[in-house]
Amino acid sequence: MTTSGEQFGWVLHRRPWRESSLLIEFFSHQQGRVGLVAKGARSARSSWRGLAEPFCPLTATWTRRGEMGTLTGLDPAGSRHLLTGRALWCGLYANELVLKLLLRDDPSPELFRAYGQLLSDLVTESDLASVVRRFELGLLGSLGVSPDFEHDAADGQPIQAGGLYHLDPESGFIPVDRPGPTIYPGEAILALAGGMRDKKCGGKNCRRLMRQLIDHQLAGRRLESRRLFENMSHRTGV
C-alpha cells in the first residue's frame, strides 16, 4: 500500500457508488489523473459532503493498493469557480477532454497549469471561444501531438495568412490551392499560433480546425459534453 502526500488538484468527475460513497476522478499537480473512492462522502455526517465537486480547488490525500485509491483527506484550497451557462458547458467539455485523453498516473504540469488558467479565464473573460481554443492548444501541446502552427509540413515555409492549407493531424499543414472540408485559411492557423489573441481572426475556422485535431486524438470516442451545447455552439462560437 502506498500513501500520497497532500496534493493540490481538481475533481474532474464524480459518481455515486454503493449507498453513500463516491467514485472520483481527481486531477492532481504531482500525479496527474487518479481514480479514488471517497467512502461515505454522501453521508449527512461526512465532512466531505458537497466538497468533492468540479471546479473547486482542493487538497487531497489517499492510500492506494492497485488501480484505485481510497480518499483519506479532502480540504478546500480556495474559492470555487462559479461557472454558469456557456462557461459551465465549456468547463464540462474541458473536464471530459482530460478524462478521455490523459492516462491515469501520467503527471502533466503543463496541462495542469492550462486547466487552472482555463477555469480562471472562464470566469473573467467574455470571449469563451478563445478561452477554449487556448486550452485545447495547451492540451495537445502537453500530450506532444500538436502540429506546427507557424510553418507548413511540406518544406517548412512560414504559414501565410492569405494561403490555404490542408490539415493532416499526423504531419501538419500542407499548402493547397483550393478549398475543401479539411482546408483552412492561413489566418486561422496563425490566430491559433498567436493564442487567439487577435479577436478579428479565427472564429468558425479555428473551431473546425481544433475539432479535427481533437477528434483525431479521440479516435472515435464521443464526448457527452458536446451534446449539451452542440445546438448552442453555432450561436456562441464555442
CA 82, CA 63: separation in Å to the nearest integer?
Answer: 30
At residue 162, the pLDDT reads 95
At residue 196, the pLDDT reads 83
- Cell numbers found for residue 184: 483552412
Q: What is the dihedral of CA 136, 137, 138, 143, to 10 degrees?
A: 90
Structure confidence by residue, pLDDT tens digits, 91-123: 999 999 999 999 999 999 999 999 999 999 999
At residue 228, the pLDDT reads 73
Tally of CB atoms within 10 A around 133: 22
At residue 201, the pLDDT reads 57
Structure confidence by residue, pLDDT tens digits, 57-83: 999 999 998 889 999 999 999 999 999
Name the β-bridge partners of 33. 27, 104
At residue 232, the pLDDT reads 60
Q: Which of 62, 15, 207, 229 is nearest to 130 (CA)?
A: 207
Name the 3-class secondary structure at 32.
strand
At residue 215, the pLDDT reads 97
199 burial via Cβ count (<10 Å: 0-12, 13-18, 19+): exposed
At residue 233, the pLDDT reads 56
* DSSP-assigned letters across all residues of 206-225: HHHHHHHHHHHHHTTPPPHH
CA triple 10-12-17, angle to 5 deg: 110
Cell match 506546427: residue? Answer: 148
**Where do the domains of the chain lie, and which CATH numbers do they carry?**
2-76 (2.40.50.140), 85-236 (1.20.1440.120)
At residue 197, the pLDDT reads 77
Name the β-bridge partners of 25. 13, 35
The pTM of this model reads: 0.91
pLDDT < 70 stretches in the chain? 1, 198-202, 231-238
Q: What is the DSSP letter of 166?
A: E
CA 7, CA 32: separation in Å to the nearest integer?
Answer: 10
